[in-house]
Structure formats: structure tokens, C-alpha cells
């Protein structure tokens, strides 16, 4: 069985206090074992990153950019191999895994422009013979703690910008699908990144707690559930770290009566059931406004029932949806379905009845569709993180906006309409961080920033884009005078000219 260890100071370290199986979700079979870092290995990785930081920070931004360019080329050449690794460990279909690499690559491309992104401001003659300028300087050792659902893309939201800005980095990926993290580390090394600048620690909560407590760590980035995001934010802040922690979501798609229903249903199907709903930007609530509800549910029922569910690899034609990540998560999602039934929601399509040929012990669940869900129900209030779409009926546009405003999460929301005034009002009024207009999954491009509102994000700055550069640097402002002629005597009054 393949063994997966850590990547520290340019070498694979297959050691740890204990290990656990990595399971192929499509079969339920163990395919590898991952070593989890003990306190000694964790602290060693921090020491290595700390030692590597000064020399890497001293390298010019242009030379750091060239490493990113070479890394980008290597990612493109190995994209299919990386996608197969993701599909094998995570379960998502191959084309979706490949698209994940592409979206991560976009952040690498953004980081390639770091010489421009690090430019500061310069003001001449802010006072007599006095000039003022600002520079952006790296922080030191940065940590990224990433979830199972995007084992390549989410880390690439973080480390390309962190490295390009001159920081060293420790990645702590999910222990459920860690294989691709080591390959990424090897590609960075091949691209010319000095040993020790990028390290990978496989670990559990014990490893994370050490990273959060160690004062040598300057910044922590996290993506995961809201309870853990709050914990990461609090613990990191207590030790003076800069922190961005992205949490859960319950993303709404508002369907107006004038919407093109064919486009709307297609958008809902991909956004709700792609990657088995294991996306923080998945649409999990369809808000049917007025008379559109009945027709919307009829169309969705037909489409959800036709979903092709099965393994993510080596199947032709490719399935629409693969398995969930684990048996525990499958049980959790199916328990939510039963809760919805008990709460009185109408289960229009029951994915628990889906038969997947040759599934064996795989963690499969068909698409589930609920209608007549209300805001008080648990299946509306909580993040399910699975292939479950709920329909909430509201009488008008204002009720739809108020529904979104009343939810604890504020990651993303979308509206489908042909009316420009309605779309513009929605974009202005809706209380969430990312908004789509006739776009079901409004994930910003790499040169914009990703982040939600309310309990979907903890910390001020978002990920990638300009906020990413701000997060991984600190601003220094220099005010300089070069006297001409005779020197003035001491002055005790604040200069004003």
C-alpha cells in the first residue's frame, strides 16, 4: 500500500506518531496510508520554514516571479495526472478534477505578476525637500489549512501569492485526500523553489493546534466549516497572527418569474449537484418567487432523476456526479434527508434510492430534491454539503432578499432574471460576499478576491486578488529628507510644510 508522508526541507519524510487509511470513495477500499505529524515533526517544519524565509525574501520579486512561471508550466504539463490523483482520493469526476487544477492555475498566473502587484506609492515633496514612499514586505512563515473538497485549488488560493510575496509556507492539507499536496511540493521544487520555503505537513487537530500556538508563525489561512473557522480565527488571533478563515455556506439562487427556466434549471443542476454538492459555493437553496415555483420544481424533478451517478474515473460517458468523500459524511448527509422528511418538507426526489451498478462499498448518494421548505427547518438553516437541493417558495422579490438576509451564512447568492433593474437592485441589496447575475456559481476570478460575509468568513481580508497580496504582506511607509545647503537647528514643532 502506498504511503504518504510530509514534505520538509525538500525531502519526503514518511514518519509520524500514527497513520490512517486513505479510502477510494468509489469503492470503499483503502488505497494508501498517510502519516500524521507528531509535535516534533510539526515544530521541525516550522523551524525549517523560519530558516528558509530570510534568503527567499531577499530574492528579487522578478526572480520569484520566474519560479512561479516555471511552476505554472509544470502544472499544465502534469494536469491530467494531478486530476486523476484528485479523482481517485476525493471521488469527483475527472473533468471536474481537471477544472479544479485550471482554477488553481489562474491564481498561479496572477502571482506571476508579483513585480507589478508589489509596487508601492511615491509622493514627492510631501514637505520641503521631503519625499514619502510605501513598500510591501513579506510577513515570514505562513500556514495554509485546507479542506478535502478542493485538495489542489484551495491550497493554490494561498501559497502562490504567499510565496511570490517572499514568505515561506507550510501547507496542512486534509488527511482525507493528501496525495496531490506532495506532488505539488515536488513540482515547486522542480520549478526552482529553494528547499524549506514550501513544506507540507500531514496532520490532524493536534498538528493544527501547534501551528496556531507557535509564535514563529506569522499568518494562517483556512477554509472549512464555520465552527472550525471560528476556532482557527480565535486561536490564531490570541497569538498575534494575521488570519483569514473561511467557513460554511448556504448559497441561495433566486428564480424570478421572468427567468429563462431552461437556463435556470441547467444552472441549478450543475451548481447544486456538481462534485456531489461538496463545494462551499454550491447552490443549496432555490428561492422560487411567485408563480415560477410549480414549473421550476417539475423541471428540476425530471433533471435530478436523470443524474448519472457513479465512479469519477474510467467511465464512458463520464458520470455527472461521483461519490461522497467518506462513509461518515454519507451517513451525515442521509441523516439530513431523513430530518427534512421528519420536518414536513416534501421530498420530491429521494437520492437514497439510487442504485449504482458495481458500487460495492462506495459512498454514493443520488441527487435529492426537497420542495416547500421553510426558513425554520434544519435542512434550510444548516450546511448539508451534499447533493441536496431545497426549494423555498416566496411571494415576491423583497421576500427573497429578506430570506437571504436572515440566514447566518453569507458566502454567495445568485439571481436569474431578464430584468436589469431587478438584477441591479439584487446585486446592491443582497447580504453576501459574492453575487451572481444569471451566473449560478459566482466564484471570482483570481485577479478579484474570494470571501463571504457573516458567519461565512472570519478576518478582514479575502483570498487571492489584491486582498491576497495585502494579506501576505505588511505595509511600510518611509518618509525621507535629503537636506540642501545649511542644516537647520533642532525643531520642536510638528512640521507643516
Q: Which residues are catalytic?
A: 280
CA gap 187, 220 in Å, rounded = 23
- Return the closest-CA partner of residue 372 out of 434, 264, 444, 285: 285
Q: Which three cell numbers stand for residue 229?
A: 473557522
Strands 141-145 and 130-138: unpaired
CA gap 213, 235 in Å, rounded = 7
CA gap 333, 363 in Å, rounded = 11
Strands 368-371 and 283-289: unpaired
CB 241 within 8 A of CB 167: no
CB 246 within 8 A of CB 229: yes
CA gap 381, 88 in Å, rounded = 32
In this structure, what is the dihedral angle of CA atoms 181, 187, 189, 193, given to the nearest 10 degrees?
Answer: -100
CA gap 57, 200 in Å, rounded = 19
CA gap 89, 79 in Å, rounded = 16
Residue found under cell 466564484: 443
CB 6 within 8 A of CB 45: yes
Amino acid at each position: 500500500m502506498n504511503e504518504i508522508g510530509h514534505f520538509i526541507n525538500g525531502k519526503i519524510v514518511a514518519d509520524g506518531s500514527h497513520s490512517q487509511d486513505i479510502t477510494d470513495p468509489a469503492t470503499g477500499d483503502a488505497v494508501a496510508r498517510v502519516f500524521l505529524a507528531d509535535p516534533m515533526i510539526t515544530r521541525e517544519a516550522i523551524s525549517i520554514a523560519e530558516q528558509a524565509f530570510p534568503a527567499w525574501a531577499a530574492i528579487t520579486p522578478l526572480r520569484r516571479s520566474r519560479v512561479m512561471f516555471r511552476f505554472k508550466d509544470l502544472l499544465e504539463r502534469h494536469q491530467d495526472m494531478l486530476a486523476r490523483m484528485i479523482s481517485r482520493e476525493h471521488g469527483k469526476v475527472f473533468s471536474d478534477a481537471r477544472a479544479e487544477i485550471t482554477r488553481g492555475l489562474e491564481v498561479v498566473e496572477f502571482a506571476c505578476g508579483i513585480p507589478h502587484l508589489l509596487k508601492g506609492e511615491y509622493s514627492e515633496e510631501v514637505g520641503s525637500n521631503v519625499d514619502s514612499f510605501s513598500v510591501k514586505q513579506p510577513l515570514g512563515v505562513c500556514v495554509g489549512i485546507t479542506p478535502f473538497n478542493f485538495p489542489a485549488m484551495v491550497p493554490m488560493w494561498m501559497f502562490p501569492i504567499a510565496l511570490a510575496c517572499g514568505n515561506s509556507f507550510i501547507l496542512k492539507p486534509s488527511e482525507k485526500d493528501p496525495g496531490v499536496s506532495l506532488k505539488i511540493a515536488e513540482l515547486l521544487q522542480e520549478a526552482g523553489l529553494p528547499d524549506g520555503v514550501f513544506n507540507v505537513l500531514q496532520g490532524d487537530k493536534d498538528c493544527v493546534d501547534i501551528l496556531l500556538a507557535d509564535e514563529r508563525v506569522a499568518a494562517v489561512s483556512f477554509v472549512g466549516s464555520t465552527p472550525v473557522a471560528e476556532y482557527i480565527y480565535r486561536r490564531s488571533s490570541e497569538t498575534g497572527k494575521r488570519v483569514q478563515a473561511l467557513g460554511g455556506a448556504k448559497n441561495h439562487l433566486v428564480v424570478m418569474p421572468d427567468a429563462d427556466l431552461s437556463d435556470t434549471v441547467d444552472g441549478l443542476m450543475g451548481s447544486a449537484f456538481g462534485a456531489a454538492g461538496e463545494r462551499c459555493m454550491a447552490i443549496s437553496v432555490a428561492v422560487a418567487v411567485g408563480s415560477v415555483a410549480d414549473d421550476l420544481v417539475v423541471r428540476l424533478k425530471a433533471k435530478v432523476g436523470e443524474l448519472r451517478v457513479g465512479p469519477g474515473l474510467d467511465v464512458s460517458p463520464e458520470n455527472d456526479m461521483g461519490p461522497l468523500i467518506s462513509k461518515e459524511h454519507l451517513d451525515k448527509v442521509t441523516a439530513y434527508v431523513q430530518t427534512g422528511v421528519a420536518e414536513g418538507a416534501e421530498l420530491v426526489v429521494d437520492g437514497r434510492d439510487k442504485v449504482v451498478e458495481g458500487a460495492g462499498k462506495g459512498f454514493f448518494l443520488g441527487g435529492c430534491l426537497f420542495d416547500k421548505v421553510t426558513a425554520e427547518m434544519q435542512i434550510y438553516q444548516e450546511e448539508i454539503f451534499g447533493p441536496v437541493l431545497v426549494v423555498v417558495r416566496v411571494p415576491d422579490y423583497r421576500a427573497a432578499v429578506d430570506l437571504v438576509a436572515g440566514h447566518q451564512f453569507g458566502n454567495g447568492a445568485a439571481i436569474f432574471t431578464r430584468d436589469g433593474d431587478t438584477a441591479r437592485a439584487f446585486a446592491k441589496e443582497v447580504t453576501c460576499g459574492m453575487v451572481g447575475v444569471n451566473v449560478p456559481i459566482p466564484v471570482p476570478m483570481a485577479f478579484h478576491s474570494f470571501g463571504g460575509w457573516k458567519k461565512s468568513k472570519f478576518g478582514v481580508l479575502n483570498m487571492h486578488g489584491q486582498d491576497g497580496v495585502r494579506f501576505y504582506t505588511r505595509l511600510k511607509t518611509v518618509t525621507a529628507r535629503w537636506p540642501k545647503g545649511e542644516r537647520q537647528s533642532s525643531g520642536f514643532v510638528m512640521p507643516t510644510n
